[in-house]
Amino acid sequence: MAENSLNAVDPEIAELIRAEERRQADTVKLIASENYVSKAVLEATGTVLTNKYSEGYPGKRYYEGQQVIDQIETIAIERAKAVFGVNHANVQPYSGSPANLAIYMAFLKPGDTVLGMGLPFGGHLTHGWSVSATGKWFNPVRYGVRKDTGRIDMDEVRALALEHRPKLIFCGGTAIPRTIDFPAFAEIAREVDAVLAADIAHIAGLIAGGAHPSPVGYADVISTTTHKTLRGPRGAMLMATSDEHATALNKAVFPGLQGGPHNHTTAAIAVALREASQPEFKAYAAQVVKNAKALAEELASRGFDLVSGGTDNHLILMDLTPKGVGGKPAAQALDRAGLETNYNAVPFDTRKPFDPSGIRIGTPSVTSRGMGEAEMRQIGAWMDEVVTAVAKGDAEDVIARVHNEVSELTAKFPAPGLS
């Protein structure tokens, strides 16, 4: 063991990292916003690039010694432009929330109106929800979904836009199981002269792989995290077609909101984008959607109440009320059985956000492990067994048995990046 290795310097943290690696390997990860990055992305993340300060942009920095970093950031930008078909990309936002805040900084003044999807309907905190800075410092107006269809009501979006004349409209979100209608949002934004921001954090990998329509040509600006379906490191990007929007975004990111970019993350984003441009990634994105549909069908056939009745993408949102159990106790029992999910509010939820009626699941991670539709049907059956047992108040034996069966499955499908 090298004297200065992590094991030698901090055995406590080293062991916890190994424990997390074992946990990730042994769990069927159904969290819709997570994934397993490749060994190559992991390697780029843990490099000496973390030592370097690079305030500014390639060719225009405030620190010397950027001979290498400028090349890395330029490669990341060029790959983002190629993968998404945009004219401009900024790869510096620290994560999705700061990226979205940069959009406000670029186009709004405090107090200006933003129209975004309400959090309980599937929008993100940063789309103007009350507890977020975006809801406190701006004037948020919120759209939702129709009660009868569980889908975004574009008539409501248009009516709200005409009434409130927002300067910014967000589309996209964090718990939306259906395709986003970018052309319809663009038409409404044009009608009221608002900037249209497409937040594709969840579906970026599907868009890159051709499994979801692209907002390019419709949205003025696009924000995305890089660590969900796109399968990169924790980070974010902002993209635009026009020079004017791109200049405003660049100024908002630096010096508006951030200092030095995280260069190790930038390198890992470049690697992930290279992976996303390969033919295998197209197949991956298509399989993510096929798997989600197979899992949704299995769950629906077992009496689960799926918001909107199913899914078009990687994500399923379920109301567990008909199963007689809340989202939180269900998610906790599933986790003990080796099936990792998150509890989630559902549209028109009558329960509290920390103890909501639903759970949200997704297929990006299981698909990265090489699982297919047959495994999705098995996972749906296990979820049903565990949730039904929890509702009956007698789940211990079922949890123990399912956990054993889950371990047998995960052993057959090694996760990328884990040793």
- Which residues of this protein are in contact with ligand PLP, per CB under 6 A? 33, 95-97, 100, 124, 126, 172-174, 199, 201-202, 225
Q: How many residues does the chain have?
A: 419
Cβ proximity to ligand PLP, 34 vs 70, nearer residue? 34
- Nearest approach in angstroms of CB 126 to ligand PLP is 6
- Nearest approach in angstroms of CB 12 to ligand PLP is 27
Cβ proximity to ligand PLP, 79 vs 314, nearer residue? 314
**Residue positions forming the annotated binding site:** 119, 123-125, 244
- Nearest approach in angstroms of CB 197 to ligand PLP is 10
Q: Catalytic one among 21, 34, 53, 57? A: 53
Q: What is the DSSP string of 302-359?
A: TT-EEGGGS-SSSEEEEE-GGGT--HHHHHHHHHHTTEE-EEE--TT--S-TTS-SEE
Q: Which of 23, 13, 57, 21 is nearest to 254 (CA)?
A: 57
234 flagged as catalytic: yes
Distance between CA atoms of 315 and 176, rounded to whole angstroms?
A: 7
Distance between CA atoms of 127 and 92, rounded to whole angstroms?
A: 20
155 flagged as catalytic: no
Cβ proximity to ligand PLP, 199 vs 319, nearer residue? 199
363 flagged as catalytic: no
Cβ proximity to ligand PLP, 105 vs 300, nearer residue? 105
- Nearest approach in angstroms of CB 2 to ligand PLP is 33
Distance between CA atoms of 317 and 30, rounded to whole angstroms?
A: 12
Determine the residue with CB nearest ligand PLP. Answer: 96
224 flagged as catalytic: no
Cβ proximity to ligand PLP, 223 vs 410, nearer residue? 223
Element at 191 (helix H, strand E): helix 182-192
147 flagged as catalytic: no
Q: Catalytic one among 21, 26, 43, 55? A: 55
Q: What tokens does 401 get?
A: 């048995």
- Nearest approach in angstroms of CB 134 to ligand PLP is 11
CB contact at 8 A, 293 and 286? no
Prior bond of 166 cis (ω within 30°): no
- Nearest approach in angstroms of CB 202 to ligand PLP is 5
Distance between CA atoms of 102 and 132, rounded to whole angstroms?
A: 14
27 flagged as catalytic: no
Distance between CA atoms of 267 and 256, rounded to whole angstroms?
A: 23
Q: Catalytic one among 146, 151, 158, 234? A: 234
Cβ proximity to ligand PLP, 254 vs 382, nearer residue? 254
Distance between CA atoms of 123 and 174, rounded to whole angstroms?
A: 6
Question: From the CA atom positions of the chain, what is the Rg in Å?
Answer: 22
Q: Catalytic one among 29, 167, 178, 228? A: 228
Q: How far is CA 55 from the centre of its chain?
A: 27
Cβ proximity to ligand PLP, 100 vs 368, nearer residue? 100
- Nearest approach in angstroms of CB 201 to ligand PLP is 4
Bridge partners, 169 (sequence order): 115, 196
Q: Catalytic one among 73, 167, 199, 275? A: 199
At CB < 8 A and 24+ separation, what contacts does 406-412 make? 406/26, 406/27, 406/28, 406/337, 406/338, 406/339, 406/382, 407/26, 407/338, 409/28, 409/371, 409/375, 409/378, 410/25, 410/26, 410/27, 410/28, 410/338, 410/369
**Residue positions forming the annotated binding site for (6S)-5,6,7,8-tetrahydrofolate:** 119, 123-125, 244
Q: What is the largest CA-CA distance in the chain?
A: 66
* Residues with catalytic roles: 53, 55, 199, 225, 228, 234
